[in-house]
Structures are given as structure tokens and as C-alpha cells.
Amino acid sequence: ASAAGLANYYNHAILAYSGLTEAELGPTGWVRLVHPHEQAAAARQWVQCVATGEAYESEYRLRQHDGRYRWHLIRARQLHDAQGPRWFGTGTDIDDQHQLHQVLQTQYDELARAHHDLDTFVYAASHDLRQPALNLRGLFDELRPLVPAQAPDGAQLLRLFDQSLTHLDTTLRDLAQTVHTQRNQPDPVELLDVGMLLEEVLLGLRLQVLQRQARIEVDVAAAPGLFYSRANLRSVVHNLVSNALKFAHPDRPPHVVLRSFLTAAEQPVLTISDNGLGMDVQDPRAPLFQLFGRQHAHIEGTGVGLYLVRRIVHSNGGHLAVESTPGQGTTFTIYWTQRS
């Protein structure tokens, strides 16, 4: 096209595609090939680019010789040669890619709706089942005194029933918390004193620490502050530290180390290390972060904690890594968001 943006050459491909001659297309005929709903926008953008010299690039539907429209990527650049500035443009057929994108977008939307519906069902079910579970607990507490102490296996049956009710209630609460965390709007972010928040979490776990005779080390001097949601940070730390205490090695008291620091790229990091049972991070039968996945079935738990931790970290733009050796211990490394 000329410096004024008037087309003066069409190659054979556009002539064959449109079914028109060069004369029929004329200086601005390519715009008439654009879908009527998009013609005005295409023309305005072309006029603006010609006036400013900016590159032209947009996706429009172009009419082919049989009247059907196909999506094209239209590009044009202003170049200079011995004749002065001129415009050179191309049109690339991207209809197949566009249709594929539409299919994928539709599938993604359907999957997102199904995921939301599943979340809604799980949340409603876990919430609605809490009351029947509480009713069972009340009935059990009423019936417990009626079981004769000398009844064969009576004490063991009561203990098993009590443990089952506790496990049911814990699972329902964990499910509700998981879905609630995933569906809620992001909690407000603030500058947190990491050391103080870790102390609050450890204070809440004081009974478990004393019972296990655990040794806890905290070192946040290298990165004492973090821009994050207080509730989310508390949940992450509480789950990981309580796991470190729960899955302690029977031959030694727990030793848990929490350390906050910055990477060379100024990304804040928190590591939580323990000397507990450890895990097989490559075990395909029990993936670490799978909901209800568990590697130590002999220890009471629901398999929700690590799943929830990863969801919180990932949903806030972070990354969670784990290194573990069975029988020796585990280190979780949490790479928070960039702002520190």
C-alpha cells in the first residue's frame, strides 16, 4: 500500500480467496472483506496506524469467495525503501486455531462450572452432615454410661466408636474449611511480623509440643516481614507444624526448625523442617498433595492438611516444594509471592 494506506497490490492468494480481481478490490477493498460487525473497527484502526506509523495487527473475519467467513490475523508494517515509506501487509488464516480455542474455552468453562458445582455440593454436604454427626455424638455420650464396665470388649468398642465419631467430625470440618478457603475472596494482605505470627501458632500448639517433648527453633532474622494474609499464613504454618508433631519418629523427640529468609531474587521463603517419619515423595499410591491421600495410615488423620496448604500457597501466587527421606524427616519450602 502507498504511504497514504491505499492498497496498490494484491497477491494471488487474496484474489483466489476473495474471488475478486485486483480492480474489484480497489485501494480499500480489503476492508469490505471484513465481517460487517467488525468493518468499522478495522477501518478506524487502519486510519490511525497510517496516521501514526504504528504497526497494524488484529484478528478479523474475512469473507471468502463462497460467502463464508474465516478468522485471519491481519498484520501491516510501514517500511522505507528508495521510493519512500510504503505499507506491507499480510493476512494469515487462523480459523482452525480460533475454532480450537473456542472449543477449549467452552470445555474450560464447563469444567469450571462443574468444579464450582462440586465445591458447592461438598461444602453443603459437609455442613449439613455436621448436625447428624453431633446428634450421634450426643446419643453416644448418653449411651456410654449404660454399657457395663465388665461387658466383654465393651471398653474397646466404646473407644473405637468414640474415635470414629471424632474422625467423622474432623473430616467434615476439614472439608468445609477446604472448600471455604477455595471459594472465598482473597483475604486482605498486610505486612506481617513473621516471628510474632509463628509464636501465636506455636502457642496454640503448646500442648502437643509439651506432650511430645518437642524442640522448636525459629529463625526469622533474615526476613522478619511478609506481605500476606494473616489467616492464610496461620493456616499454612499450623498445618505443617502440627503434622511435624503428629508424624514424629517414635525413637526420638521431634525437632522442628522454622526459618524465614530471602532468595537472591528477593523472594521471601519459609522452610519448616522436622526429624520425623519422613515420606516417599515419589510414591504413586499416595501422592503428597492429593485430597485424602495418606502415607502413614497407622496415625490418625484425614489427608486434608497438605492439600489445603498447597491450595492456599498456589492461589496466592506462591510455590510449595518438599524434600523428604523416610525415617529421617521432611523439609517443606514455601516460596511466597514476590513482594516482601
Q: What is the pLDDT of residue 294?
A: 63
3-state secondary structure of 63: strand
User: Residue 51: exposed, middle, or buried by beta-carbon count in 10 A (0-12, 13-18, 19+)?
Assistant: exposed
For residue 251, the tally of other CB atoms under 10 A from its CB is 6
207 and 306 both lie in a single domain? yes
Give the up-direction half-sphere exposure of residue 140: CA atoms within 13 A in the CB hemisphere. Answer: 16
As a whole number of angstroms, the distance between CA 165 and CA 137 comes to 7
- CATH at 298: 3.30.565.10
Say yes or no to pLDDT of 295 above 70: no
Averaged over 28-51, what is the pLDDT?
92
Amino acid at 49: C
59 and 169 both lie in a single domain? no
Q: Tell me whether residue 279 is in a domain.
A: yes
236 and 329 both lie in a single domain? yes
Q: Tell me whether residue 300 is in a domain.
A: yes
222 and 324 both lie in a single domain? yes
Per-residue pLDDT tens over the stretch 118-132 = 666 666 666 567 677
Given a contact cutoff of 8 angstroms between Cβ atoms, the answer to whether 260 and 224 are in contact is: yes
Q: What is the pLDDT of residue 279?
A: 86
Degrees, nearest 5: CA angle 120-126-129: 130
178 and 207 both lie in a single domain? no
Phi first, then psi, for residue 256 (nearest 5°) are -115, 130
Q: Which domain holds residue 68?
A: 12-93
Amino acid at 134: L
DSSP letter string over 187-228?
PPEEEEEHHHHHHHHHHHTHHHHHHHT-EEEEE-TT--EEEE
**C-alpha 185: how far from chain center:** 14
Alpha helices, DSSP H, located in the chain: 12-18, 22-25, 29-33, 36-52, 95-128, 130-143, 154-183, 194-204, 206-212, 230-246, 305-315
Q: What is the total count of domains within the chain?
A: 3
220 and 151 both lie in a single domain? no
Residue after which a domain boundary falls, among 93, 120, 150: 93
User: Residue 287: exposed, middle, or buried by beta-carbon count in 10 A (0-12, 13-18, 19+)?
Assistant: middle
Q: Tell me whether residue 101 is in a domain.
A: no
Given a contact cutoff of 8 angstroms between Cβ atoms, the answer to whether 1 and 86 are in contact is: yes
As a whole number of angstroms, the distance between CA 34 and CA 252 comes to 75
139 and 54 both lie in a single domain? no
Per-residue pLDDT tens over the stretch 308-327 = 888 888 888 899 999 999 99
Q: Tell me whether residue 45 is in a domain.
A: yes
Say yes or no to pLDDT of 183 above 80: no
222 and 326 both lie in a single domain? yes
126 and 149 both lie in a single domain? yes
Given a contact cutoff of 8 angstroms between Cβ atoms, the answer to whether 10 and 24 are in contact is: no
As a whole number of angstroms, the distance between CA 328 and CA 274 comes to 8
45 and 148 both lie in a single domain? no
Q: Tell me whether residue 87 is in a domain.
A: yes
305 and 281 both lie in a single domain? yes
Amino acid at 52: T
Given a contact cutoff of 8 angstroms between Cβ atoms, the answer to whether 283 and 324 are in contact is: no
Given a contact cutoff of 8 angstroms between Cβ atoms, the answer to whether 273 and 240 are in contact is: no
Per-residue pLDDT tens over the stretch 263-287 = 998 899 999 999 999 888 777 766 6
Q: What is the pLDDT of residue 125?
A: 64
Rounded to two decimals, what is the model's pTM? Answer: 0.50
Q: Tell me whether residue 239 is in a domain.
A: yes
Q: What is the pLDDT of residue 340?
A: 43
